[in-house]
Amino acid sequence: MPGPGGRCTVHRVEPLTDTQIRSSFVNCTKGEASRLKLPLDFAELPWEDLDFLGWVDPGAPCGRTWSCRARTVRSA
């Protein structure tokens, strides 16, 4: 849907590596980040179809969930 000035805002998730995702966490220790379990199908994720990436880490206490926010891309 066009935003202010008639511009469209497109949200997409850019492909990320395991290392990029782990290094992006600021609310946990490096040890916690290294131990978090990525989605089982991480290598086959359809990045171009995702609005966000989120998953439940079954190995974390209390079924901790993780998410990566979409990057906003503005087009004319």
Alpha-carbon gap, residue 13 to 16, rounded angstroms:
8
Q: Where are the domains of the chain?
A: 4-75
**pLDDT (tens digit per residue) in 13-54:** 788 899 998 888 888 889 988 988 888 899 999 988 887 888
Handedness of CA 16, 48, 13, 59 (dihedral sign): negative
71 HSE (CA, 13 A, CB side): 8
For residues 7 and 51, the model is more confident at 51
Is 3 or 33 the better-scoring residue by pLDDT?
33
Q: Are 69 and 14 in contact (CB under 8 A)?
A: no
Q: Please identify which residue in the block is written with the tokens 């220790």.
A: 29
